Structure 1
């Protein structure tokens, strides 16, 4: 089964405890979008949010750094026991070997994020260091954007490269993961789907009902 990672910038923060309590029973990761208003023109969650989340869950967190200087956040996120630190390829380039060594020392995972326009050759020289490759199927920074189908070819190529090079990284998709796209994403080779408003939180006001609907949609897509 594909793994599920809810994007918590899309949750109802007014029902924080209720929603986290329900999700804790059902999901594999929590996806935390950290934006500084510079790398993308939006501001959402922060390391402070992870600090508030930690007492309520043992689910591993994946911090997606959409910030101008992501390397500056790494030590703070390690102190918060973040499981995966995901950095956009253009910012990880030049730091990948050092950051990989640091994260392995702390037994944490290094993620790299590819925008729709970012070619795979940008990460070719350090692909063997990566634990999770996140393929953006929307432009970064905002929820509810149009699905970029062209990004699925990148997922297919990553799957081929993983097999040819005998690597073990997981392929994660971020953007428009919902009942209309699940099958395409899974068929392309996705291991982890990041679900936001259209895939989870807007399905029903009641989080338990929303999770049930998400699971039914996912199962239907897998069985098609």
Structure 2
């Protein structure tokens, strides 16, 4: 599968999202942060906007649902055109059922964990998922500093995936930059969400290439 770079549009120009996505043709996915001002203290996009965005690009959309009612609303994002939908285990009543529903409707299913949420209680769920997201900042806002304390959890998650011999991707999100992506890749991540690092660059697509190269150099498991 190799390294994948997934720019977050949270740091893009909301008034011109179609044009902003057009600036990153080298992206593997476009990361869409969905926030409800309840699970996290911020309010962003809903399925109507996501559907409109999906019609402007061929790059697949990766929806990160930072909402309280993912059990009831996740499928709306599949229907809106997302190729991958991530729910937070802290806000999901039935994660296995939800993952199976997402997959049965044709999208990849992913589970996210906040920095303080351990991976160990969910080891038996990993085979039900297409991706696990380890948050490396507290979810809610872009531009935060990377939390090194999450690196051991990334390593433990990678060890669990390797031990089970499954192809579930391991994503990190939060403070990913040229300075931090190597540490994440070395710890075992293979999918990287980068918002500020990409959209604050003079050439966002060139930054994607630089992030990819840095991660590939540091990744021992590839």
TM over 0.5: yes
C-alpha deviation, 1:101, in angstroms: 2.5
Name the CA shift for 1:132/1:117 in 2 (closer, same or farther; >3 Å). same
| Structure 1 segments unaligned to the other structure (5+ residues) | none
Instruction: Please give the per-residue CA displacement for 1:33-59, whole angstroms capped at 9, x wherever unaligned.
Output: 111111111112221221110111122
Deviates most, 136-145 or 65-74: 65-74
C-alpha deviation, 1:104, in angstroms: 2.6
For 1:1-224, list aligned pairs within 5 A: 1-23=2-24, 25-92=25-92, 94-197=93-196, 199-204=197-202, 209-220=203-214, 222-223=216-217
- In the aligned structure 2, how far is the partner of 1:29 from the partner of 1:96? 23
Misfit runs of 4+, over 6 Å: none
Name the CA shift for 1:221/1:111 in 2 (closer, same or farther; >3 Å). closer
Which TM-score applies when normalising by structure 2? 0.91
Count of residue pairs brought into register by the alignment: 217
Name the CA shift for 1:214/1:58 in 2 (closer, same or farther; >3 Å). closer
- In the aligned structure 2, how far is the partner of 1:72 from the partner of 1:178? 34
Instruction: Please give the per-residue CA displacement for 1:156-210, whole angstroms capped at 9, x wherever unaligned.
Output: 111111111111100000001101101101111111100101x210112xxxx23
Which TM-score applies when normalising by structure 1? 0.90
CA RMSD of aligned residues (A): 1.7
- In the aligned structure 2, how far is the partner of 1:123 from the partner of 1:45? 28
Contact 1:29 1:62 in 2 (8 A): yes
